[in-house]
Amino acid sequence: MSLVLLDQSEYKRLDAKAYDREKRKLRIELLKLQEDVIKNNRKICIVFEGRDTAGKSTAIKFFSEYLRPQHFNYVQLGIPTKWESSHWFQRWSKTLPKEGEISFLDRSWYTRAITEPIMGYCNENQYRYFMKKVNKWEEDVIKNGVELTKFYFSLSQDQQQIRMKARKNSELKYWKLSKNDEKIITKWNAFTLYKEQMFNKTATEISPWVSINSNNKMIARLTSLRYLLNKTYYENKKIIKPAKWSKSLNNYSTNLEGIRFANLSYDQFMVISKYSDDS
């Protein structure tokens, strides 16, 4: 199993000025990445999964606010048709980015790994078929040129209950709380079981899961964007020195004499990069 755990929860507070400063730096780098995607006809797909209220939608807004809108897609599919339910991979193939695009998926094909079997929206055979075939399907997607990143935003049960209550009582966000949401939050243990099964079977070397602690939404957004930028090559890339909250984010990488060095700390990266093929 290839699962990357990014738990920055020890930093309970993040100064507003520091947050804005870090946000600006990372967004500038993300815009550079988008320019490279457009210039070189790259295809980048970023999956955001997690429980309700984990912060997936706001993270996507955080990522995309200053990107060129004609070159990225926000994907949030509704209830599948009968045909889509029985042709699951064909349904999701249509959401994959075209050349020169970045696609942000607010939930993905992995609803079949967790939500659908828990809520009875798919049958046992459909669930088992998906779990058997998804790794090969993703491998083919990646071979076809799609650069895939899978984020899972994780939060505690107490934090979810607090956010659900706040959503229910909000005059602006009450509509986000559906009857389906109210049902699924009562199935915490089942959700955890299916999530662990998903990680065990679908966190592969070629397509790992990156689990982000999202109890602090601000840190979750910064952590996920920094992770993406660290792992992805783009022209005029600037390696940003880690802030206090991100020192344990060991996902720097570089090439030296044809050998790929990955999962480096910032300090390790700075030493090796002086001699690397990328410099």
Position 255 confidence tier, pLDDT thresholds 50, 70, 90? low
Query: Most confidently modeled of 155-164, 174-183, 188-197?
Result: 188-197
Q: What is the mean pLDDT of residues 146-168?
A: 90
Q: What is the pTM of this model?
A: 0.83
Task: Give the model's pLDDT for residue 170.
Answer: 77
Task: Give the model's pLDDT for residue 10.
Answer: 43
Q: Give per-residue pLDDT as tens, 98-136.
A: 999 999 999 999 999 999 999 999 999 999 999 999 999
Position 258 confidence tier, pLDDT thresholds 50, 70, 90? low
Go through the domains of the chain in sequence order and give each one's CATH number: 3-244 (3.40.50.300), 249-279 (no CATH)
Cβ neighbours, 10 Å, residue 146: 16
Here the tokens at position 182 are 């109210």
